[in-house]
Structure 1
Amino acid sequence: MADRRQSLLDAALKLVEEGGLDAVTIAALTERSGMSNGSIYHHFGSRAGVFAQLYADSYGRCVAAMRPALDSRAAGDAVRDLALRYLDWVTENPSRARFLYAAPDHADPAVKQAEFAPVLAWFLSRMESGEMRAVPPWALEPVVMGPAHESVRRFLLGVFDLAEAREIIADAVWAVLKP
């Protein structure tokens, strides 16, 4: 059952990669995956359900790649490492990253919040201890990770080399939080 779901998600991701969100239709999914439209509706309920699950899966993988950075090291080292892990994940998973940036309205806020909870808890504890500047939780993604997000957007458009700038980007992310 899980393999069938993953096969459908892989097919959807490939379709997005080839033709954008509009390329993902139930007909295209059945053709690409070799499964019936009944299987798609059974597993996901709708095209929007496919997108919601693909978003949750991709976001979960992204957060999982960053989470090991959040350990007991000095806050600056951990934050820089988190930014570098994010940039590396994007470089290794451009199709998933492109989907995350193209389809934010398909994110289930509850799923996203649950996935991000350990990261948020780590940041809040470090802010509370004074190891980093206190910023409101809503600011972590747009303000703190802003330099990384803008660099990733440009990378995904093919006009920016993340490998060349990754250390500078990690420094910029830490600069926002440095006490």
Structure 2
Amino acid sequence: MRTTSRRAVLDAALELVAEGGLDAVTISALTARSGVSNGSVYHHFGSRSGLFAVLYRESFEHCVTTLLPALEHDEPERAVRELVARYLGWVAGDTGRARFLYAAPLTADPAVKASVFQPVAAWFAARAEEGALRPYPPWALDPVVMGPAHECARRHLAYGFDLGACAEPVADAVWGAVAPVG
């Protein structure tokens, strides 16, 4: 029952974010939606902030796990393009988690986020060292390299724009940002 009530609260939080943003996630709304007691929420997460921290890590792990198979390609351009396609596909397919990640970026512990993102950052660093990609510090991969994908994802989540329509131009832009100079 312990795992079930914890999962119920996490699922309820995702539903509430989808319906009304972070402000909709209150302890009373969580207990009403999940069917667990007020004490159970505090037992599992300590606070609303604790819930957000757990949900952020879990959601970010889902996202990064979806990306990793793209990095198995030998050709960097193909890997980068597939990375973009997988990311946009994840946003379209798991909108609850994507909405949460975009709504709650400051709820993540930077060390936790860096740890989860480490395999992607290491892949980019290794390819940059080989000269196959332009070098970026790990913190810049998300805003600089994936910026076009993030903007399309935000518009999809806010207005329902078709991510498939922008996938190829976004992949072109991301590849252009990391392709070796010269």
- Band the TM-score falls in, shorter-chain normalisation: over 0.9
RMSD after superposition: 1.1
Deviation at 1:157, TM superposition (A): 1.4
Mapped pair 1:118 → 2:119: yes
Specify the alignment match of 2:40 in structure 1. 39
Distance (whole Å) between structure 2 residues aligned to residue 133 and residue 34 of structure 1: 50
Report runs of 4+ in structure 1 exceeding 4 Å deviation: none
Distance (whole Å) between structure 1 residues aligned to residue 102 and residue 167 of structure 2: 19
Specify the alignment match of 1:174 in structure 2. 175
Identity %: 59
SS in 2 for 1:55: helix
TM-score, normalised by the number of residues in structure 2: 0.94
Distance (whole Å) between structure 2 residues aligned to residue 159 and residue 41 of structure 1: 35
Deviation at 1:158, TM superposition (A): 1.2
Specify the alignment match of 1:81 in structure 2. 82
Specify the alignment match of 1:67 in structure 2. 68
Structure 2 unmatched ranges of 5 or more: none
Deviation at 1:90, TM superposition (A): 0.1
Distance (whole Å) between structure 1 residues aligned to residue 137 and residue 16 of structure 2: 37
Specify the alignment match of 2:30 in structure 1. 29
Structure 1 unmatched ranges of 5 or more: none
Q: Deviations over 1:10-50 (max 9, x none)?
A: 01111111121111111111111111111111100001111
Deviation at 1:159, TM superposition (A): 5.6
Specify the alignment match of 2:57 in structure 1. 56
Deviation at 1:155, TM superposition (A): 1.1
TM-score, normalised by the number of residues in structure 1: 0.96
